Chains A and B, each alone.
Chain A
Amino acid sequence: MNAPVPSPNLYDCRDAFAATLERLAAEDKTIVAVCNDSVGSSKLGGFKGKFPERLVNVGIAEQNMIGVAAGLANGGRLPYVCAAAPFLTGRSLEQVKADISYSNANVKLVGISSGMAYGELGPTHHSIEDFAWMRVLPNLPVIAPCDRIETAAAVEWAASYAGPCFLRLSRVGVPDLLPEGHRFELGKANRLREGSDVTLIANGTLTHRMMKAAEILAERGIQARVLNLATVRPIDEAAIIAAANETGAIVTAEEHSVFGGLGSAVAEVVVDHAPVPMKRLGVPGIFAPTGSAEFLLDEFGMAPAAIAEAAEALIRRKKA
């Protein structure tokens, strides 16, 4: 009997977020964590233990949480707002618009458990609209790291960036994809795999599924380029235009509605600069049925095999 194939280790990116924030806060006394009773779900227990007075917990009051963060920034603090993504973005959207984005307040918004991470808890707890809501707001970079390495790098980058941003994190385990020591660059896609037949673009929890899909395609003689596009805004136009011109077809996949998210953002660039066939995978504009995040991603056609099939179908369109 064959030994079981070891699966790669999967990591909860919240741990990298919390460890990085604690390390930064030890050096920078102005860093504060702002939360809405979300100490546990944001993994702020360690921060609270080390810097109890710098944990600003407003209770279950997301509108106030965002306003308070803007005021803390005005008073010279460096706030990281840590809350479940659906409530951070949806409940306080106007505060994010007026107090953070329009006022250009130096506040780091960290949406935890984004996408369908809360799977079985249902659509009230899913955050599959946040790319759309956040990326229309000026002054607000929108970033969804793909693994714990990129998460740590983005949290560190945010501290040195003089302005607001939205970091979209998950709690669903993902393998390491980027090399140790990777430095985050705003608006810069990472080419994780070379290929000229099709380009697969994703971020967050979908990047590693794209890598698996590329392996399946390679077994069938198809060479897929894989781009990790953590920054949805400002988007890496050059990388997308190169992908369109050099591979002639683009598949996107995201833990988000197909309306207004990563796929839409990529399509905007493609339509303007280099029209090629595209397939946008995501949640098809419905409220998801009951199931875990992994189940739902499979359900919506984002299992690696299904992504590979979508890519093959797209390549046929390209050649037609």
Chain B
Amino acid sequence: MEIGELERMAREIRLRDLQAVYEAGAGHIGGEMSVIDILTALYFRVLRLWPDEPKNPARDRFVLSKGHTACALYVTLAKRGFIPEEEISTFLKPHSRLNGHPNCNKVPGVETNTGPLGHGLPVAVGMAKAAQLSGADYHTYVVTGDGEMQEGSNWEAIMAATQFKLNNLTLIIDHNRFQQGASLSDTNDIAPLRPKLEAFGWEVTEIDGNNMSEVVAALEFRGNSPHCIVAHTNKGHGISFMQDRVDWHHKVPNKEQYEIAVAELSEA
């Protein structure tokens, strides 16, 4: 897809995600809005994948380590043909395979179960290492939240990726500057991220993570080291009253707010 089409797709995914969270009465809408441009670029432009063959060994690997934004992934997978789009309406309902965090044994296209933070990057390092060992040419991408980078397990994995010389691994940090309870800067301010990753031997690109052209260019970059994209994003991106407001981490819009949000996303 070209940039304009990707932007339209991202808007559709935002609208469907918003509707799903509104109808389910739960979700993590702030972090979903911040990450959707990245998911869209991956699934509709960058990833080598086969929706009808989700386990094809040659597929690129993608891990959503910030698993609490599962709804955005489900909508993206549905739009890309991995699961029926009408199934999104079962999100969080009893016995739905679409629970609050993605399950790789139930939902095609999900690679590993995430939810507890700090798990996805170590697993992605293992995926990239497996390709290095077998000679497979797939690429591994993993998205973490910025607050999630407070988990020590991520830094264990960051060290290992450098030691293993994994130039087939891309980490995207969704740097929306807010975690569940407060801003990063008021909690455990790990920003700036770039010098920390560089100190550990990674190549780092900083982008506007809600700008589709910049997202695509960064995801398609190939270097000689593990690559980190620090994606500066806005929590609640696209919906004015949610943007950069910490309480929209997992708040659910009421009817009036929902209608305003739909209108804003539709006219964007």
CB within 8 Å of B: which residues of A? 30, 32, 53-54, 56, 58-59, 61, 63-64, 66-77, 79, 94-95, 98-99, 102-105
Contact = CB atoms under 8 A, between A and B. Distances in A.
Interface stretch (B20-28, B112-120, B226-234, B236-244): B112-120
Interface residues of B, number: 36
Interface string B143-176: 0000000001100110110010000000000000
16 contacts: A61-B156, A67-B153, A68-B122, A68-B157, A71-B112, A71-B126, A71-B127, A71-B129, A71-B130, A74-B112, A75-B126, A75-B127, A75-B131, A94-B116, A94-B119, A98-B115
Nearest to A75: B130
A68 B116 contact: no
Contacts of A98: 113-116, 119
Contacts of A53: 133
B124 to A, nearest CB: 6
A59 B163 contact: yes
Given A71-B124, A98-B115, 10 more contacts: A32-B133, A63-B118, A64-B122, A67-B119, A68-B160, A74-B126, A75-B129, A77-B133, A94-B119, A98-B114
A69 B129 CA distance: 10
Contacts of B140: 71
A7 B214 CA distance: 73
B17 interface: no
A58 B159 CA distance: 9
B170 to A, nearest CB: 14
Contacts, number: 113
B123 interface: yes
B248 to A, nearest CB: 26
Interface of B: 57, 61, 103-105, 111-116, 118-119, 121-131, 133-134, 136, 138, 140, 152-153, 156-157, 159-160, 163
Contacts of B115: 98
Nearest to B112: A103
A204 to B, nearest CB: 29
A72 B112 CA distance: 12
A63 B156 contact: yes
Contacts of B61: 74-75
Nearest to B134: A76
Contacts of B116: 94, 98
Contact of B136 (A32, A75, A95, A105): A75
A235 to B, nearest CB: 24
Contacts of A63: 118, 122, 152-153, 156
Nearest to B114: A98
Contacts of A105: 112
B123 A68 contact: yes
A72 B129 contact: yes
B126 A72 contact: yes
B130 A58 contact: no
Contact of A67 (B122, B130, B136, B138): B122
A64 B126 CA distance: 9
A58 B156 contact: yes
**A54, A67, A79: most-surrounded residue (chain B CB, <10 A):** A67
Contacts of B112: 70-71, 74, 99, 103, 105
B110 to A, nearest CB: 9
Closest 10 CB pairs between A and B? Answer: A71-B126, A75-B130, A67-B122, A64-B156, A61-B156, A68-B126, A63-B153, A71-B127, A71-B123, A103-B113
A149 B237 CA distance: 61
A67 B105 contact: no
A30 B133 CA distance: 9
Contacts of A70: 112, 122-123, 126
A67 B125 contact: yes
Nearest to B122: A67
Contacts of A76: 57, 130, 134, 136
Contacts of A99: 112-113, 119, 122-123
A75 B57 CA distance: 7
A71 to B, nearest CB: 2
Nearest to B153: A63
A83 to B, nearest CB: 14
A137 to B, nearest CB: 13
A90 to B, nearest CB: 15
Contacts of A102: 103, 113
A72 B160 contact: no
Contacts of B163: 59
Contacts of A103: 104-105, 112-113
B216 to A, nearest CB: 25
Nearest to A56: B129
Q: Which of A32, A70, A71, A73 has the most CB of B within 10 A?
A: A71
Nearest to B128: A71
Contacts of B138: 75
